[in-house]
Amino acid sequence: MMRKFAQLDWHVRMYEGVDVQDSPRAPSAEQIAQAQHEGRWDPHAWSVMQGHMCMLETYVQEGTAPYVMCMEDDILIRSDINDHLPKILHDFELCGLDLLMLGYLIPEPMCTLTYKHPVINQVFTFHEYPFNIYGTQMYLMTRSHAEWLVHTYGYQTQWQTKVLHTSDSYNADWVITKQGACACVYPLLAIEQAGGGQAYADDSQSHFHQMCHAANYPLASYL
């Protein structure tokens, strides 16, 4: 990833993943055991969510920019992204969005969705998306929305342990990308690497991630 960032002349802060077995953020063994008994413990989803919250918490506490762009480390980035970001930022502000998904999982053209934001862009369109669009591969977020997420779900709230025994989901696909004024850009500016970046126990998940990669990889040149 650092080679890709160097090619783009991006100065990016990298974060280590949050290990659910060795992190002060992790629930206690008793809390995990109870959540497992209730069928509500997904260590991968918990770890991914904590990783994104670490990024947002650091941005809120230390950053000064009006926006933050977060991304995962198993992605391919559109090689001409720098040419398009100024216009995308302009349209992001014009639409009054809190969050814009720049990379996500979709196995078919986004134009099949019903609503398109009325922005004039010769290359990209902005779309509202239904709840079955997943992925936090890359997203752009306002400072005010990041502050709200941190104050509502951040580590200091202890929500990451309280939620284990409720019907709510502690998953980045729900908490981060499904709240506020959200949209996604199409074509994608980032796609997941072939293979989904990891091995999935569920073959259907592996197949879905492969489909998403295959559907979007031919649409642009990627780093």
141 neighbors 200 (Cβ within 8 angstroms):
no
Q: Using alpha carbons, list the distances in angstroms from residue 211 to 74, 86, 90, 151, 218.
A: 16, 30, 31, 36, 12
- Angstrom distance (rounded) from CA 125 to CA 83: 16
Domain ranges of the chain: 2-219
Average pLDDT of the residues of the chain: 88
> What are 43-83's pLDDT values in tens digits?
888 889 999 999 999 999 999 999 999 999 999 999 999 99
Q: Which of 21, 16, 27 is nearest to 155 (CA)?
A: 27
Quote the pTM value. 0.92
In eight-state DSSP terms, residue 176 is T
133 neighbors 212 (Cβ within 8 angstroms):
no
> What are 102-146's pLDDT values in tens digits?
999 998 876 666 567 877 778 898 998 887 888 999 999 999 999
* Helical ranges in 115-219 per DSSP H: 143-153, 159-162, 172-175, 203-216
Q: What percent of the chain has pLDDT over 70?
A: 94
